[in-house]
Amino acid sequence: MSLTLRRVEKRYDDFTLGPVDLSVEDAVTAVLGPSGSGKTTLLDVIAGFEQPDGGDVLLDGRELRGLAPEERQVGVVFQDYALFPHLTVAENLAFGGDEDTRIEETADLLAIGDLLDRMPATLSGGEKQRVALGRALVSEPDALLLDEPLANLDAPIRRRLQRDLRDVLSRLSIPVVYVTHDQDEAATVADSIAVLRDGTVSQTGPVEAVFAAPATPFVADFVGVENLLEGTVISAGPDGTRVDLGWTELVASDRVAGPAVTVGIRPADLHLEPGEADPDRDNAIRGTVERVVSQRTGSVVTVEGPDGTRLVVRRRETGLPPGVTVGSAAVVTVDPDAVILLE
């Protein structure tokens, strides 16, 4: 099955979605974008809660435009779960399809069999989320939409449910659209990604491809390429592309057309060494350690370059390397393969 959006548009007084082109096969596509980028509006249009002002929504070739939500066979899992508070878990599950075996299978799949007699108000957030997913699955939808389904959960539960969701969703063999603003969640749950910005799709593709080769500085920033630096290409050859940042030069294996580029480097691809930089060494930037923040895994170090530009370095180890302290000079290095060039 496939879900296809062709030139879908929805106009409001202060916001316009689209035109959006999107194709979702029998796999999970994460729609990734900041709040206000139109993610929920996009789901509303697919689910039929909102009618688009233009374009087509096709589910397996069937035109959905003009159909009421109940005529679409599109399941929806809401961020606030939207369970029926006056019905038990079992009644919630049976609302869209009362086939006993199907309800049993779904309850088993999501490990909610022991919750069936409970009322929604007595469930934890994670349990509510699983019941909400189960309720949508029992109705055997032709496509499934999830709107930030884990956003209201605590971090540890969220991480576990991300993996659980991945397992469940990948077995469905229907198009799944998974809306999130969290790049890690998108990477964990989805097969492909569509990055949404100001109502339009900035980039689509398999998760790995989008993360490895973001097409624009916005996408790069959104998929965790935190170091974005403006520069000019000064030479391009078989050894790579040399970019002048004004205060230092970088060599990238990547290629790019225009002379004006944005250089993107993930914090984890930057490495920190003590001492002064050798001016003849490529991709070694001298700077001053400004700050270090320890995290659950490793640390995040901010280094100030000679012109005041700040570089974010993520280390696997906690603290700073030997010989480096806050306020001391240090060298930041990067492999040319890890330098992303964006137009």
Partner 1 sequence: MSTSPSFARRIGADNLFPLLGGLLVLFLLYPFLAFFLRIEGVEPAAFTAPDLVSAVRYSLTTAPVATAVATALGVPLAYVLARREFRGKLLVDAFVVLPLVMPPVVGGAMLLAGFGTVTPVGQLAAAAGVSLTDSYWGIVLAQTFVAAPFVVITARAGFEGIDRNVERAARSLGKGPVETFLRISLPLARGSILAGVVLTFTRAMGEFGATMMTAYHPRTMPVQLWVEFVGRGIDATFPLAAILVAVGLAVVLGVRYFGQQLAFPA
CA distances for 314 relative to 46, 222, 272, 287, 309, angstroms:
39, 16, 9, 15, 16
Are 262 and 229 a contacting pair, CB within 8 Å?
Answer: yes
How large is the C-alpha radius of gyration of the chain? 24
CB of residue 166 to partner 1, shortest distance in Å = 23
Q: In the chain, where does DSSP find H-type helix?
A: 39-47, 89-94, 100-109, 125-138, 155-170, 183-189, 207-212, 217-222
Q: Which of 19, 34, 36, 96 binds partner 1 (CB under 8 A)?
A: 96
Beta bridge partners of 62: 59
Least distance (Å) from partner 1 to the CB of residue 49? 5
Distance CA 318, CA 300 (A): 8
Single out the residue of 56, 63, 80, 230 in contact with partner 1 (rule: CB under 8 A).
80
117 binds partner 1, rule: CB under 8 A? no
What do you get for the CA distance between the two ends of the chain, in Å? 35
The nearer residue to partner 1, 64 or 210, going by C-beta atoms, is: 64
What count of other Cβ atoms lies within 10 Å of the Cβ of residue 241? 21
Q: Interface with partner 1 by CB under 8 A: which range of 22-30, 128-136, 151-159, 280-288?
A: 128-136
135 in Cβ contact with 92 (< 8 Å): yes
Evaluate whether 321 touches 273 at the Cβ level (below 8 Å): yes
Closest to partner 1 by CB, 95 vs 247, is 95
72 vs 266, beta carbon nearer partner 1 = 72
Q: What are phi and psi of 38, to 5 degrees?
A: 105, 10
Close Cβ partners of 128 (under 8 Å, ≥ 6 residues apart): 81, 83, 120
163 binds partner 1 (CB under 8 A): no
Per CB under 8 A, 125 contacts partner 1: no
Of 102 and 159, which has the nearer Cβ to partner 1?
102
Cβ proximity to partner 1: between 93 and 225 the closer is: 93
Task: Answer yes or no whether residue 293 interacts with partner 1 by CB under 8 A.
Answer: no
Q: How far is the CB of 207 from partner 1 (least distance, A)?
A: 27
Q: Which stretch binds partner 1 (CB under 8 A): 90-98, 209-217, 228-236, 329-337?
A: 90-98
Q: Minimum distance from CB of 123 to partner 1 (Å)?
A: 11
Give the x/- contact pattern for partner 1 in 40-79, rule: CB under 8 A: -------xxx------------------xxx-xxxxx-x-
Closest contact distance (angstroms) between CB of 43 and partner 1 is 10
Stretch that binds partner 1, among 58-66, 99-107, 134-142, 310-318 (CB under 8 A): 134-142
Q: By C-alpha distance, which of 204, 202, 161 is closest to 185?
A: 161
C-beta closer to partner 1: residue 78 or 247: 78
For the chain, what percentages of helix, strand and coil (3-state, to nearest 5) are there? 25, 35, 40
Interacting residues with partner 1 (CB under 8 A): 47-49, 68-70, 72-76, 78, 80, 82-86, 95-97, 119, 121, 132, 135-136, 139, 141
